[in-house]
Amino acid sequence: MRALVLGGTGAMGRHLVGLLSDGGWSVDVTTRSRGRTGRDGVRYVVGDAHDGAFLEGILTSADYDAIVDFMVWRTGEFSEVAERLLSGARQYLFISSYRVYADAPVLEEGSPRLADVSRDEEYLRTDEYALAKARCEDVLRRSGRANWTIARPGITYDSGGRFQLGVLEAGTWLWRSMHGYQIAMPDELLSKTTTMTSGADVARMLCALVGNGAALGEAYNLATSESLPWSEVLEVYRRSLPVAVVPCTLDQYAWAAQAPYQLFYDRMYDRVVDNSKVLGVAGIGQADLRPARDGLHEALCAFLRSGGRVNPPCGTNARIDALTGERCLGDLLRRGRPFSTAAKYAAGRLRGRV
């Protein structure tokens, strides 16, 4: 059995590749980074799957039983390549997102999607992440083929550096905390409920779908059913390092992160996921998944012990500085490229200020 994993080096993909290899699969993995070496049966191919020539070359290089697609596609772009991806393997697994869902008490596979029920015309005119994922799902459903599987992961964490806090990525909140700076967060967000799943656990669920004929033409939630408020996520992180928070408004926070739709159409919803469908396929129970509080703490401790580094976005950190009254430019400059760093910092601080 042979699988192609597009963009398979992240919090979920790296674990999935290992599981497939352990299960006897030969795995080709596309990556933008050079110098990766794999175990026996794993081959890393350097290139960008958004490049049509590269994608065609790798699709014709082998006879694939499954393609697992972690790429982020624009709707129009995906419409152009979907037929080729579907015809490139016996099974095409599209990694969507739980963010496609509108607000609901419990997220089931048939729960309403934002793309179908939102009345925000300005939002619907965009191709924002949640909308693009839903529209790509629709492309598959309208394809006339049935060899696709849709997987909708929730928020994941991983000791490789995948740690989110609200809409802030590790390059902002974790980098600032590691360097003694504050972050800004609204109290309204901290009271909202989220779901945080180990990337390794999501990979276990996903692995159960790869090569599984019963999964064809189906969609699955890939997440723990456990939920916790963002305030508890913050406290879990504080068990490993100081995380100083100053309050701000929701609009200020959305401006700083430049992610208003992610904030208002996901993080400000209370998210609880029904994962019974995928657990039934995988033959595991909720008790077999890592508890979020323990898993988050262990992953962050492992990351810090390893001397892990995160890449701080200059613009986002500049805007957080504007809310906290600090100036982290000196530490950013010490990372190199002083002229471009200073320019990005200045531009970021001025961008659409509220």
User: Among the listed ranges 8-12, 121-125, 198-202, 234-238, which one has the minimum average pLDDT value?
Assistant: 8-12
**Residue type present at position 336:** G
| Interval 163-188 mean pLDDT | 98
Does the structure show a pLDDT above 80 at 303?
yes
The correct answer on CATH 3.40.50.720 for the domain covering 2-158+194-241+271-291 is: yes
Sequence spans of domains, the chain: 2-158+194-241+271-291, 314-350
| C-alpha span between 223 and 96 (Å, rounded) | 12
- Give, rounded to a whole angstrom, the gap between the first and last alpha carbons of the chain: 54
Does the structure show a pLDDT above 60 at 239?
yes
pLDDT in the model for residue 354: 54
CA geometry: angle 241, 244, 247, nearest 5 deg: 150
Question: For residue 266, what are its two tokens?
Answer: 């996901």
Question: For residue 156, what are its two tokens?
Answer: 């994941």
Does the structure show a pLDDT above 90 at 61?
yes
- In sequence order, the 6+-apart residues with CB closer than 8 A to the CB of 51 are none
Question: For residue 66, what are its two tokens?
Answer: 């499954």
User: Quick check: helix, strand or coil at residue 258?
Assistant: coil
Alpha carbon distances (Å) from 250 to 154, 223, 256, 276, 291: 22, 27, 10, 34, 29
Instruction: Report CA dihedral (130, 132, 137, 140) to the nearest 10 degrees.
Output: -170
User: Quick check: helix, strand or coil at residue 62?
Assistant: coil
pLDDT in the model for residue 154: 98
User: Quick check: helix, strand or coil at residue 45?
Assistant: strand
Q: How many CB atoms lie within 10 A of CB 71?
A: 19
| C-alpha span between 52 and 319 (Å, rounded) | 36
- Pick from 139, 107, 135, 113: nearest CA to 222: 107
Secondary structure (DSSP) of 167-213: TB-TTTHHHHHHTT--EEE-HHHHTSEE-EEEHHHHHHHHHHHTT-G
| Interval 10-20 mean pLDDT | 96
Assessment of whether the complete model's pTM goes beyond 0.85: yes
Alpha carbon distances (Å) from 265 to 68, 219, 271, 305, 334: 27, 21, 11, 35, 36
Mean pLDDT of the chain: 96
pLDDT > 90 fraction of the chain, expressed in percent and rounded: 94
Q: Are 171 and 310 in contact (CB under 8 A)?
A: yes
pLDDT in the model for residue 337: 83
State the pLDDT confidence band at 79, using cuts at 50, 70 and 90: very high
Question: For residue 16, what are its two tokens?
Answer: 């999935």
**Residue type present at position 60:** T
